Structure 1
Amino acid sequence: MFGITFPSLAFFAAAVPAVTLVGLSKGGLGGAFALMGVPLMALVVSPLDAAAIFLPILIVMDMVALWAWRHHNDRTLFLYILPGGLVGVALGWATSALVSPDALKVVISVSMVLFSLRYFWQTFGPGKGQPIEPKPHRIGPAALWGTLCGYASFVAHAGGPPFQIYALPLRLDPKKYTGASVRFFALVNAIKVVPYVALGALDMRNFSTSLTLLPVALLATFAGAMIVRRLKPDVFYPLAYGLGLAASLKLLWDAFFA
């Protein structure tokens, strides 16, 4: 199945659901769905090819999402987390051959699991009903989670959970949260093109495969945006944390058993 020129039915059986999940995530349903994309596609092509095929798709999805959320943003969130994200991409390029992707998966997923369980305990545990106060912006955590976000995005397109760990406790309006997220990952993905080309992963074969999946990507991105626009904060945040928890458990499974 590796090195296919014309994608087979088996390829599309894995790739279409993978792209749909990533598109829903890009539309605003959070980074959890996106974590499923590369592992699903890696069932039918090599992991490096899966990541390379996804990158042009992600960039087009970013363009659609930027248009869909052009009127919504949280400038402070974007500016706080961006420097760390850029550092993380640079570190990913420099050390991608030295650091085990599984080790990164464990660090990210354990952090997200604990973070999500804490939220659900506060929201539905003995102290439920008490308002959860928004966290203020902090330079140190923004730099830490932004760097992990950029690094995870480079090596596995898995930057969603670190972004959520920093951004969700801010308790922003869902539309502003999504607008800042869309802008951040659009810039990170655009920057990733240069190192991916340098690594030889973005060849014409993978690029042509990306083009065949673009219609699915565009439809899923618009669908994700439409869903989020209709979600209230008391629905959006439990959904975002729940998806983050599920995706982190999947990352842990991949790290130890895949």
Structure 2
Amino acid sequence: MPTDFIFYAAAVPAVILVGLSKGGLGGAFALMGVPILALVISPVQAAAILLPIMIVMDIFSLWIWRHYNDATTLKVMLPGAMIGIGIGWLTASLVSTELIRLLVGLIAIWFVGLYVYERYKARRGKEPPPRPQQPVKGTFWATISGFTSFVTHAGGPPFQIYTLPLRLDPKVYVGTSTRYFAIVNAVKLIPYFALGQFDASNLSASFVLMPLAPLATLAGAWIVKRLRPEVFYPLMYLTILATSVKLVADGMNALLH
């Protein structure tokens, strides 16, 4: 188990940021977890250490948001997510995680650009209505989400591309997102074990950091429950933009070097 000060100096803020995201503050914080830990250990080891902690965070998030859920969205998206996880498992030794991060980041930036354009039209009296459920589109984006979640822990942007235009109540949105990623992360445990991602050292580090999980998750939920919809949704799109820029930067940096 890593015991040096440098490891924990990186691991503690990484876990706190992921926990704030799990509480409902969006995907940008979650994506910082692996890169921060990767400053002191390999990215693969960082992902393996964080996954059990994320499972604990999911348990607390499920309890916090237990009264809020949109079952239709989950029915539309979960089958595609399972397909995406399966594709990620089968192609784990073939895919370039750097290229995947770059592509996901570019797509998400395009999505934020559409949102800004719609906000511009809304100010001119042409605000579009909430988008209805579209099973084919939902399955497509969920498949991408499951795949990118498996290979890079970056399933948030594709999930948000489909769900944010539905304009669910903020609490319902967070509750639905919590259930979705709790299931995705739980299913990911099986292939991660099969691929040998969990050894004694990684699991020991996970258990040492585990007490931070509920505290950070509860803090994120406390903040989200006090946000009005007109604040919540712009904040979510801002987190997507921050996430996208980080993904593109990571992907470009890795590919160029």
Counterpart residue identity of residue 251, structure 1: L
For residue 224 of structure 1, give the secondary structure of its aligned residue in structure 2: helix
- Contact 1:32–1:161 (CA<8 Å) still a contact in 2? no
Name 2:195's counterpart in structure 1.
199
What is the deviation of 1:129?
5.9
Question: Following superposition of structure 1 onto structure 2, how do residues 68-83 of structure 1 map, counting pairs within 5 Å?
Answer: 68-83=64-79
When the two chains are superposed, the root-mean-square deviation of aligned CA atoms in Å is 1.2
- What is the TM-score normalised by the length of structure 1? 0.95
User: Which deviations, in whole Å up to 9, do the C-alpha atoms of 1:30-82 show, x marking residues without a partner?
Assistant: 22211111111111111110010011001000000000000110111111110
Q: Residue 81 of structure 2 contacts residue 145 of structure 2 at CA under 8 Å; is this kept in 1? A: yes
Give the aligned partner of residue 45 of structure 2. Answer: 49
User: Partner residue of 1:128?
Assistant: 123
Deviation at 1:9, TM superposition (A): 1.2
* Residue 155 of structure 2 is aligned to residue 159 of structure 1: yes
Matched, 1:65 2:66: no
Give the deviation of 1:139 after TM superposition: 1.2
Query: Percent identical across equivalent pairs?
Result: 53
In structure 2, the CA distance between the partners of 1:37 and 1:129, relative to structure 1 (3 Å rule), is farther
Within the candidate set 18, 22, 30, 1:34 is matched to 30
**Distance (whole Å) between structure 2 residues aligned to residue 241 and residue 31 of structure 1:** 10
Whole-Å separation in 2 of the counterparts to 1:6 and 1:148? 33
CA distance in 2 between partners of 1:37 and 1:132 (Å)? 35
Mean CA deviation greater in 26-35 or 163-172: 26-35
Q: Which amino acid aligns with 2:144?
A: L
Shift of 1:102: 1.4
CA shift for structure 1 position 121? 2.9
Amino acid at match of 1:94: L
Secondary structure of the residue aligned to 1:32 is helix
User: Is 1:143 paired with 2:142?
Assistant: no
Find the aligned partners of 2:129 and 2:7 in 1 and give their Cα distance.
46
Are 1:247 and 2:243 matched, yes or no?
A: yes
For structure 1, list consecutive stretches of 5 or more residues without a partner in the other structure: none
Give the one of 202, 214, 223 matched to 2:210: 214
Match of 2:2 among 3, 6, 16: 6
Q: CA offset at residue 8 of structure 1?
A: 1.5
Q: Shift of the alpha carbon at 1:126?
A: 6.2
Cross-structure match for 1:188: 184
Normalising by the residue count of structure 2, what TM-score does the alignment of the two structures yield? 0.95
Aligned to 2:99: 103
Letter aligned with residue 183 of structure 1 = R
Residue 257 of structure 1 is aligned with which of 229, 237, 253? 253
Cα distance 1:63–1:231, how it changes in 2: closer, same or farther (>3 A)? same
The superposition leaves residues 159-181 of structure 1 with CA deviations (integer Å, 9 ceiling, x where unpaired) of 00010000000000011111111
Distance across 1 between alignment mates of 2:102 and 2:41: 23
CA distance in structure 1 between the aligned counterparts of 2:115 and 2:108, rounded to whole angstroms: 11
- For residue 65 of structure 1, what is the amino acid of its counterpart? S
Is the contact between residue 30 and residue 240 of structure 1 (CA under 8 Å) also seen in structure 2?
yes
Q: Which whole-Å CA distance do the structure 2 matches of 1:137 and 1:251 have between them?
A: 28
Counterpart check, 1:24 vs 2:24: no
Q: Deviations over 1:185-204 (max 9, x none)?
A: 11111111111111111111
1:176 matched residue in structure 2: 172
Cα drift, residue 127 of structure 1: 4.7
